[in-house]
Amino acid sequence: MAPQREPEDRGGARGRRSPLGGLPRRVDAGGSPELEGPQCGGRGVKAELLSFTPLGELRKVAPDGLPDEGLLPHLTYVFAIEGISRACSHQLVRHRTASYSQQSQRYIPVRRLRERVVIPPSVSEKALNEYMSLMDRASDAYGGLVDTGVPREDARFVLPNAAETSLLFTIDGRSLLHFFGIRCCNRAQWEIRALADRMLAEVRGEEPAIFGRAGPNCYWLGYCPEGRFTCGRMDEVVESYRDPGLGVVE
């Protein structure tokens, strides 16, 4: 007899949407306020700094005369990241100098998918039912394949990029500054931008000497390097990163 799957509650669209209040906002390329971060409820994007190498400790053992910039590659930062989509994690792993340990879809069964998907802010209320219907169909297909004996490692091929994931992310100081430069930028997609802002808030509080001027490239360069792809809102963006709290959810 095939194993019984846990029934899913489909009492309306769920996913992870959040109210507008309390979420950071950013000026988009069109000049209107844009919701920052996944427009979803529940946990949302989380980025916790688990451990790091203090700059002061490394200074004690560094060769005399070595500037702090020369120490950056030797500083290590470990983050626990939760609540991002697989689409976002695919963007994240493009940063090849970092190390990753991601939650497995091979060994961890996927249950209650509709409660663990990210809903892009561009999905309107009108489109939400169709979006969640597709999530349900993917969940049914996955469960049906597993019930017929298809291994989870193969059944997962039908799961959506919207599915939530969690991971450990380890990166050195120089690479982290580069990460902030391009992922805090308005050109970055909304989800990884929200993640970068949360990570920046974490390290600014611990190492302001290094990350006090970190942020999108325009913030610390003093000009926008994006050329014709500029968002055109540099002054507003720079001002938002001067705020010690970054406007990021605490």
Residue positions annotated with a catalytic role:
183
CA 22, distance to chain mean position in Å, is 18
Residue whose pair of structure tokens reads 């700094």 in the numeric block: 49
Q: How far apart are CA 151 and CA 71, in angstroms?
A: 47
Q: How far apart are CA 97 and CA 191, in angstroms?
A: 21
Q: How far apart are CA 77 and CA 50, in angstroms?
A: 8
Element of type H or E holding 83: strand 76-85
Contact in structure between 52 and 77 (CB atoms under 8 Å): yes
For 43, the token pair is 């946990």
Residue whose pair of structure tokens reads 């990166």 in the numeric block: 171
Q: How far apart are CA 85 and CA 34, in angstroms?
A: 19
Contact in structure between 110 and 70 (CB atoms under 8 Å): no
Q: How far apart are CA 116 and CA 199, in angstroms?
A: 22
Q: How far apart are CA 78 and CA 58, in angstroms?
A: 17
DSSP 164: E
